[in-house]
Copies of this chain bind each other. A is one copy, B any other.
Amino acid sequence: MLKNFEYAKTEDKVKLNREIKELRARLVAQQQQVRAGKLPVLVLIEGWSAAGKGSLIKEIISEMDPRFYQVISPAIIPENEERYPFLYPFANAIPENGQVVFLDSGWMESAVRKNLRLEITRDEYKRRIRMVNEFERQLRDGGYLVLKIFLHIDKKEQGNRLKNLLDDADTEWRVTKDDLWQHEEYAPFLKAYDDFMEKTGEHVQWHVLDGKRKKRATRDALKLLVNKIDKALEKGRYIGDPFEEKFPLVKMPKLADVDLTPTITDEEYKEELKKLQSRLSDLHNILYRKKIPVILCYEGWDAAGKGGNIRRVAYPLDPRGVDVHPIASPEPHELNRQFLWRFWTRLPRTGHICIFDRTWYGRVMVERLEGFCTEKDWKRAYNEINEFERMLTDWGAVVMKFWIHIDQDTQLARFTDRQNTPEKQWKITDEDWRNREKWPQYEEAVDEMLAKTSTKNAPWYIIESNDKKYARIKALRLIIKKLEDACEGNL
């Protein structure tokens, strides 16, 4: 795209100014429709150092109502980025419904630069390309309007601009070593940018603009944005079709076939619990030192004993290195973003453990059954979740998912006990009883979920929990086994 790029011709300045003015006015008017139509818009501006990305954004937003857009430069979080997955800062930055976010450099710059610096392997670069495509598709399928612009200048122009910046004491500091390095390595960068754009145009197209002609670039960027918003508003929010990618799966039994009789004696429980917790505590030290992130996911029937199970796992861990995230129904600002957003923002740093008490699987259970999302949405979610989890395990995380399982009689006994015990009454709500009535539908949904998302890299484990103590010991053993493997690099 850059190799044979046709640089823009000069155009009549008066005409350009008029067009820009008109487009800006249209954009301002559109902001209200974007808001009313709850359309989330993400504008990614990539390009060469000194190509004028910042100014371009400035020109685009100049008339916009600041209540409904945001400019984000991920450059300000370099330190944290290293402790999180590659896409973490960008996923965190996705707009709410009805908002426009401008990203000043994003996943492209991050992937290309690290590749050229040989800071990531060839394989990791390929993976990042794949992740970018998945990320962009997920956004598009979730109804996001994504616009990707690359601002191009040739080597000579870049040289002049850098020189101008360096010659002025007030702007000198703006030129980083990285910028000078890019200028020196202009040719390989050009090739790398081209390569990246070629491989990431699958779901969202790239638009290359000539950074030398500022007014033209402003006009063209505005035009692209305004036209795309018009189209999106006209067609209504896009909802992607379900699709099925191949993931290597672990075969899971049907819930109905799970034997729930296993128990453990009190003595064995006490003894084992102590031993296992002590071992887990030691492992946490090693994980921390080796910077391995761990993500433990708990799902299960109401009253199955998730909370107690989680507490036994969390107890031996250093509280500074573990977070338990209880997942309730989404808050308004969470509901207004792609469904995985509230999990992206809760990911652990490397070396940390996080435990999710309920998870992103709500999408294919409660949201599916209660109609909180469309059928297309939850059907697409199996793959979206598999991609999300592959991204996590590729990053080096241990991901384990537990289905805490009981039968209906056990649930009834526990519900009744809660009902009859004053200090437990808060634990039981009308909703629990309503959910109970839908046991068959839930069972079907869970079976489908287990079948479709128990990937080799992030498998499900069914934990028989009619005997809660048995369940705790089983979970601890599984976790320890997996973490031992991870510490020895055997994953």
Mark A residues whose CB is within 8 Å of B: 29, 32, 35-36, 54, 57-58, 61-67, 70-71, 73, 75-76, 79-80, 102, 104, 170-171, 173-174, 282, 285-286, 288-289, 307, 310-311, 314-315, 317-320, 322-324, 326, 328, 331-333, 349, 355, 357, 423, 426
Residues of chain B within 8 A (CB-CB) of A324 are 66-67
A289 — nearest CB in chain B belongs to which residue?
A: B173
Complex Cα spacing A36 to B425, Å: 13
Residues of chain B within 8 A (CB-CB) of A314 are 66
Given contacts A66-B310, A331-B333, contact A282 B170 (CB under 8 A): yes
Complex Cα spacing A97 to B77, Å: 30
A53 — nearest CB in chain B belongs to which residue?
A: B320
A33 — nearest CB in chain B belongs to which residue?
A: B426
Judging by beta carbons under 8 Å apart, are A320 and B104 in contact? yes
State how many angstroms separate the Cβ of A100 from the closest Cβ of chain B: 12
Judging by beta carbons under 8 Å apart, are A66 and B357 in contact? yes
Instruction: Name 17 interchain pairs, CB-CB below 8 A, sorted by A.
Output: A29-B423, A54-B319, A54-B320, A57-B319, A58-B318, A58-B319, A62-B315, A63-B311, A66-B355, A67-B326, A71-B320, A76-B349, A102-B319, A173-B288, A173-B289, A331-B331, A331-B333
State how many angstroms separate the Cβ of A270 from the closest Cβ of chain B: 14
Complex Cα spacing A239 to B304, Å: 41
Complex Cα spacing A70 to B346, Å: 13
Chain A facing B: main interface SS: helix
Complex Cα spacing A75 to B104, Å: 29
- Which of A58, A70, A75 neighbours the largest number of chain B CB atoms within 10 Å of its CB? A58
Q: Which of B32, B76, B423 contacts A426 (CB 8 A)?
A: B32
Complex Cα spacing A174 to B75, Å: 30
A349 — nearest CB in chain B belongs to which residue?
A: B76
State how many angstroms separate the Cβ of A248 from the closest Cβ of chain B: 33
Residues of chain B within 8 A (CB-CB) of A331 are 331-333
Judging by beta carbons under 8 Å apart, are A315 and B173 in contact? no
Judging by beta carbons under 8 Å apart, are A61 and B423 in contact? no
A333 — nearest CB in chain B belongs to which residue?
A: B331
State how many angstroms separate the Cβ of A367 from the closest Cβ of chain B: 20
- Which of A67, A332, A333 neighbours the largest number of chain B CB atoms within 10 Å of its CB? A67
Judging by beta carbons under 8 Å apart, are B58 and A311 in contact? no
